[in-house]
Amino acid sequence: MTRFSAFVLALSVFGAFAAGNPAPANAQGAVQTTAGPPIQITWEVRNRFRMFREERDFALHAEALRNRTILASEQALAVQSDGRGWARNTLSRLCIDQLGSVSEPCTRDGVKESYLTPADHPVTVRLTGNVPVGAICAWAFDDGDGPRQSSADCSEPVNLRVRYGKPTAASVDVSSGSEASQRVATDITVRDVLIAGLGDSVASGEGNPDRPVALADEGFCFRSYLGGPTSQYFRPSRAGFTGTRACENSGSDALNGWQRRSAQWSNQACHRSLYSYQTRAAIALSVQHPHIAVTFLPLACTGATVTEGLLGSQRGRECLVTRNAINCETTVSAQVTELREALTAAKRRQPARQLDLILLSIGANDINFSGLVADVIVDGGTERALTRRGGVMGTVDESRKALARELPQRFGKLREALKPLIGADMSKVIFTSYANPTYANGTTCTGGPGGFDVHPSFNADPRRLGVVSDYVQSEFLPQLRNIATCGGGILCKDPARDRMTFVDSHLGEFNDHGFCARSATDPEFDRQCFSAKGDSFNTDLVEAANSPMACGRGASEFRAYAPRARWIRDANDSYFTAMTYPQGVSGQPSDIHDATWGILSAVYGGAIHPTAEGHAAMADAAWPAITDILGLAANEGDVTRQPLPDNAFQR
């Protein structure tokens, strides 16, 4: 198919060019008529978030973002999907598969394209303004290989593909009755923006599977570490699981059947999600700016640190289950290596291809934040002892040492690795800060079992919670800003060029939406079935086997993506949304009812991570920095943006 074949097929041919002397066009390619707005050529790139194979997925977001912020659009989409999530229908229609492989070429809307190095882009051209009714438009498009011409009614849009990296001269002669024709002209130049997303679980979207786990109303038995029938407990099972739900005689094939009913992610090994703030910001960028296309390369991976994840390989989180096989990829390549290889391949085909910016969140795993969470919520004596012995639990003192000594050095190595990929200008790296997950109504959550009673040994101890919250607020977050921006005494080789663009304007919003936030507008299931007192589940084993929820309602009524006051997943959310059985953990059990998996399934799917609403708020915060770095008008297009705060970002 030639570049203009789609254009030719799309037009209804009305005849040759109309006769008459062309009227001169103004500098903007518009002709001023006697009344009304001037006639002008307008154009936009179609399906311009290029990870989407089909335009309907882009159109969904274009409509949701019309006159809305990213957060408001997420809330609208959540209501539209009845809380089931918009991404569940998009997951199978991406140019990057669940193993992280880029489809080259990727068939988008019926046309094969190179994802990383597009040769052309689909464009829709229209004539707008005071166009006479019934006027005939004689169009011509020339990219240097000679004009392509055709005529059609001026009310009809023109669809064509224009060459990437080279302007296409567009002109039209407008004829109406006996009046002299009017000529309008403009240049069409598509800018393809290449963005990479790097980082850890907050960057990847952990806690928000593209297709959440389907829950059964019946119970599933777990053992606790003490053993014996009195230590068993039931929680909701996975829908469609036909294996033994009782703790006895689970069978050797039970794990296989259980895994086939897992939650699904854009990338299973990294728990990479379309709900990630990085992806949402990239989608919104493509929606708001009609003259660009966005090529987004998501590489963030849950569990990543600077050394294991960004600069070195890391262990994958979960197996990819397909209809025909279960792929347990135990190792994930270093993100910087994957990015370097992708850019090298792109430059081989298009030497001028450049990485425009990097979205990044990293550092929490480097100071063992998950160990601090475990210290707060694991309350049972036996479980605390075993968790501490297994090295899962951490302390603030240990974290403080890593923050002061190790993290600045690791960031130094990361800068040196990223500079060659970003033109030695680290301001093109937008570092979006973590939010304090422990605040609601501006104060630290009081703690207790509410939101954590999915496991009998969980309880957010108020004293330990207060210590960790104070450390995060007064030490970790300020020091992270210093490290990223070369401030506060942090030494950088070249502060002027080593300083990342830092975003943290969303922190104030999160102060009202931590894991303990509750509202009368929360989903009815949450209000009735997730008890703040920690008695959400049936303790009678006979009753719990058939009806694990103490409220008497079925777990299948839970909606992972319904709008709610908390923008942070608690342990109950994590289990009900993802119910993760991670691979490769220390001492991984073979029995799916085992005590270890009872704990892991409650937290490894995103406990104490942002919800989809939280990610959308983070994407809104990152927006001003993205448009500033790319040199794009912040208010172009149909998306209504919030006013730019004075401290929106720091460069």
CB 165 within 8 A of CB 326: no
Q: Which 3 state secondary structure label does DSSP give 381?
A: helix
pLDDT tier at 66 (50, 70, 90 boundaries)? very high
Q: How far apart are CA 500 and CA 483, in angstroms?
A: 9
Task: Give the pLDDT confidence score for residue 650 in this predicted structure.
Answer: 58
Judgement on whether residues 160 and 203 belong to the same structural domain of the protein: no
Task: Give the pLDDT confidence score for residue 584 in this predicted structure.
Answer: 65
Specify whether the backbone of 608 is left (phi greater than 0), alpha (psi in -120 to 50) or beta: left
> CATH number of the domain that 417 lies in?
3.40.50.1110
Q: Is residue 301 part of a domain?
A: yes
> CATH number of the domain that 147 lies in?
2.60.40.10
CA angle 131, 137, 138 (to 5 degrees): 150
Q: Is residue 310 part of a domain?
A: yes
Containing structural domain, residue 547: 194-238+249-650
**pLDDT tens per residue, range 228-260:** 556 899 999 999 999 889 988 666 568 888 888
**pLDDT tens per residue, range 618-638:** 999 999 999 999 999 755 543
Judgement on whether residues 438 and 486 belong to the same structural domain of the protein: yes
- Alpha carbon separation from 417 to 344, 410, 426 (Å, rounded): 14, 11, 11
Q: Is residue 623 part of a domain?
A: yes
Judgement on whether residues 177 and 268 belong to the same structural domain of the protein: no
Q: How far apart are CA 539 and CA 412, in angstroms?
A: 52
Q: Which 3 state secondary structure label does DSSP give 643?
A: coil
Q: How far apart are CA 520 and CA 179, in angstroms?
A: 65
Judgement on whether residues 154 and 289 belong to the same structural domain of the protein: no
Judgement on whether residues 457 and 477 belong to the same structural domain of the protein: yes
The H-or-E segment that residue 285 falls in is helix 277-288
pTM assigned to the model: 0.91
Q: How far apart are CA 312 and CA 304, in angstroms?
A: 9
- Which segment of 42-51, 172-181, 641-650 scores lowest on mean pLDDT? 641-650
Task: Give the pLDDT confidence score for residue 651 in this predicted structure.
Answer: 59
The bridge status of strand 215-222 relative to strand 314-315 is unpaired
Judgement on whether residues 212 and 360 belong to the same structural domain of the protein: yes
Q: Is residue 87 part of a domain?
A: no
pLDDT tier at 262 (50, 70, 90 boundaries)? very high
Judgement on whether residues 199 and 134 belong to the same structural domain of the protein: no
Judgement on whether residues 578 and 623 belong to the same structural domain of the protein: yes
Q: How many CA atoms lie within 13 A of 160 on its CB side?
A: 31
Write down the H helix ranges in 367-486.
369-377, 381-389, 396-401, 407-418, 462-471, 477-485
CB 637 within 8 A of CB 615: no
- Alpha carbon separation from 512 to 127, 318, 448, 461 (Å, rounded): 47, 32, 18, 20
Judgement on whether residues 325 and 409 belong to the same structural domain of the protein: yes
pLDDT tier at 28 (50, 70, 90 boundaries)? very low
Q: Is residue 318 part of a domain?
A: yes
The bridge status of strand 120-128 relative to strand 111-113 is unpaired
Task: Give the pLDDT confidence score for residue 154 in this predicted structure.
Answer: 95
Q: Is residue 472 part of a domain?
A: yes
**pLDDT tens per residue, range 271-318:** 999 999 999 999 999 999 999 999 999 999 999 999 999 999 999 988
Task: Give the pLDDT confidence score for residue 253 in this predicted structure.
Answer: 64
Judgement on whether residues 176 and 225 belong to the same structural domain of the protein: no
Q: Is residue 82 part of a domain?
A: no
Judgement on whether residues 428 and 460 belong to the same structural domain of the protein: yes
* Average pLDDT across the chain, whole number: 89
pLDDT tier at 42 (50, 70, 90 boundaries)? very high
Number of domains, the chain = 2
- Alpha carbon separation from 17 to 21, 22, 364, 412 (Å, rounded): 12, 11, 64, 63
Judgement on whether residues 605 and 492 belong to the same structural domain of the protein: yes
Q: Is residue 202 part of a domain?
A: yes
CB 468 within 8 A of CB 376: yes
Residue 231 burial class via C-beta count within 10 angstroms: exposed 0-12, middle 13-18, buried 19 and up: middle
